[in-house]
Amino acid sequence: MSVFRGGRSHAFILALIGSAALATEPERIPDLPQAITNNAVAQLQLDGQRVLVSLMGLGSGKTWRDTTARVYRYRAGDEGWQRLPNVPGPAGRLAGTAVGVDDRVLVFGGYTVGAEGAEVSVDLVHGLDPVSGDYEELAPMPVPVDDAVSLVYRERYVYLVSGWHDSGNVNLVQVYDTEEDRWFQATPFPGAPVFGHAGGISGRRMIICDGVRIQTPVSGSRFFEPESACYLGEVDAEDPVRIRWRRLPHHGGPATYRMAARGSDRLGMVVFAGGSDNPYNYNGIGYDGAPSKPSDRVFAYHLEDDAWRELGKLPEAAMDHRGLLEADDAFLILGGMRRSQAVSSGVLYFSIRRP
């Protein structure tokens, strides 16, 4: 494995699969205009240009006042990020999710934080035109969720897997049909309902891993517990409602919370990076009261081989992510928390090449 380090806030990793050739160094993307974590991220190709978008999240103060609805867009070749209009709805949201479909960024849910600490899941769904900055309000989620995993299938269906709803986790797989602006329910997630899990899809197969479950003892208060479990779900080729789930062997590391993850059709893998083995509240302090530490691990599930692969380590450990982006030979992490729960504006890169 070879490691390249860029400027102050850029890092590059080359994870070799077999005897791969050196990856070309990706375009260096400027830092985000502000330090941001727990931000939803999405990417598109518009007229042959790559477009990256960061939406909502939490600023460096890490209090309820630092939640934001801000949106930033970067187009290949731009000198920097451009500010777009805020996501409509309640000011400032965390744990929302976003995906790029055709020429729009679809923004799903998240939760608001009140001054007294109340957290409320939001059912709003919007389509953002990343060129004009215009929004269209779309059909709301049947069950509002945050800290869910969002996956795009056939450039039409968006699957929201499990997640948190107001006061507890749900095992739902809610599916949004982008062509008909309607929702339906798919085969439920078979594992313990979780939040803060991670996953990706390649072709018809999705991988979902880890997160946090609610543990309810016979006596005493319920508490949060890391969930060490991974599942493969295969969407029926004829019916997007049907998913055939099976449990996989675990990836071998500790249960990890809020990893950056993405399915890569180029590699035939679902790639996972970073996260933390100590689940935490939005300020980075664990539910057990201990400060959470980020991970530098990078690994993937290889769909053809039906096996896990270790791919190396990030040059800089990172956590608190809502997604992973892929551009050419590089994977990108926008913002997030680094060591000592420091909120970052940096763009973290790593590259994976086939032989």
Confidence category of residue 354, pLDDT binned at 50, 70, 90: low
User: Phi and psi of 351, rounded to 5°?
Assistant: -125, 140
DSSP code, position 187: S
State the average pLDDT over residues 155-183.
Answer: 97
Give burial (CB, 10 Å; 0-12/13-18/19+) of 156.
Answer: middle
Per-residue pLDDT at 10 exceeds 60: no
Contact indicator for 246, 189 with CB cutoff of 8 Å = no
State the average pLDDT over residues 155-160.
Answer: 98
Quote the pLDDT of residue 27: 63
Among the listed residues 293, 310, 314, the one whose alpha carbon sits nearest the alpha carbon of residue 301: 310
Which tokens sit at 91?
């000011």
Confidence category of residue 200, pLDDT binned at 50, 70, 90: very high
Confidence category of residue 279, pLDDT binned at 50, 70, 90: very high
Amino acid at the residue 216: T
Per-residue pLDDT at 262 exceeds 60: yes
Contact indicator for 153, 101 with CB cutoff of 8 Å = no
The average confidence (pLDDT) of the chain is 91
Amino acid at the residue 93: R
Percent of the chain at pLDDT > 90 equals 82
Among the listed residues 214, 254, 249, the one whose alpha carbon sits nearest the alpha carbon of residue 231: 249
- 292-306 tens-digit pLDDT: 999 999 999 999 999
Task: Work out the number of other CB atoms within 10 angstroms of the CB of residue 339.
Answer: 13
Which tokens sit at 216?
């309810």
Percent of the chain at pLDDT > 70 equals 92
Integer Cα distance of 28 and 31 in angstroms? 9
Distance of CA 216 to the CA centre of its chain: 27
Per-residue pLDDT at 22 exceeds 80: no
Domain ranges of the chain: 2-353
State the average pLDDT over residues 26-31.
Answer: 78
Pairing of strands 230-235, 269-273: unpaired
Confidence category of residue 291, pLDDT binned at 50, 70, 90: very high
SS3 65: helix
Which positions ≥6 away from 326 have C-beta within 8 Å?
A: 43, 262, 264, 266, 332
Q: CATH class for domain 2-353?
A: mainly beta
Integer Cα distance of 261 and 273 in angstroms? 6
Contact indicator for 286, 240 with CB cutoff of 8 Å = no
Quote the pLDDT of residue 328: 79
- 129-140 tens-digit pLDDT: 999 999 999 999
Q: Which pTM does this prediction carry?
A: 0.92
